[in-house]
Chain A
Amino acid sequence: DGGITQSPKYLFRKEGQNVTLSCEQNLNHDAMYWYRQDPGQGLRLIYYSQIVNDFQKGDIAEGYSVSREKKESFPLTVTSAQKNPTAFYLCASSPRGLAGVVKDIQYFGAGTRLSVL
């Protein structure tokens, strides 16, 4: 099946711990995105990447880090600097990146729910 796979579905973080959320896509999409969703709020952009080995901060990047070593993968690390990490994290991808305006549909994974112990 083609799509976007996020893992794990549920994740618990201890104080002072870094945790990494996985996002893999087999859609051959260029662009990938990470969003945070809190109850009653819209999706907020954390980081995005339009091409391998390049990524940009979104609106709420503080306390998070990403890498894009492969086209298929865009892992998100929630660092200990993120003081309020409890949220639902969504990864998305879309088919065009640089060398053209990206105005395509973003397709989402099923999400990872992160909680603090």
Chain B
Amino acid sequence: GESVGLHLPTLSVQEGDNSIINCAYSNSASDYFIWYKQESGKGPQFIIDIRSNMDKRQGQRVTVLLNKTVKHLSLQIAATQPGDSAVYFCAENINGGSQGNLIFGKGTKLSVKP
């Protein structure tokens, strides 16, 4: 499928290393955040979410860190595998928004070298 990763920031890591993908969000009123993974030609897949009353949440091989002071979100992937190669983007939901609308970042392309 056609790449959705053109002109995106790219992170290249060696298989087995840890990856850290960063996201700066826009609104200090945002209170819910999601990380998605999108493989080429496919729809985004949910990875992990975090609410603003937390600063860290762990899943399987992934950890999300939230720093509300500097409006920064990061996704850490442990022991990165070739199957992790994709575009990763964060999404934020602004407190008080009644529609559940998410604001999406542009994404970071992760390339895993075998």
Q: Do A and B bind each other?
A: yes
Complex CA gap A98/B106 in Å reads: 28
Number of contacting residues on B, CB 8 A?
A: 33
Shortest CB distance A70–B (Å): 20
Q: Are B101 and A48 in contact (CB under 8 A)?
A: yes
Q: In the complex, which range does the number of interface residues on chain A fall in?
A: 20 to 34
Shortest CB distance B14–A (Å): 25
Q: Are B100 and A94 in contact (CB under 8 A)?
A: yes
Q: Are A103 and B89 in contact (CB under 8 A)?
A: no
Q: Are A90 and B46 in contact (CB under 8 A)?
A: no
Chain B residues contacting A110 (CB-CB under 8 Å) are: 42-43
For chain B, residues 39 to 66, give those with C-beta under 8 angstroms from any C-beta of chain A: 41-46, 49
Chain A residues contacting B7 (CB-CB under 8 Å) are: 39-40
Shortest CB distance B31–A (Å): 8
Complex CA gap A110/B45 in Å reads: 10
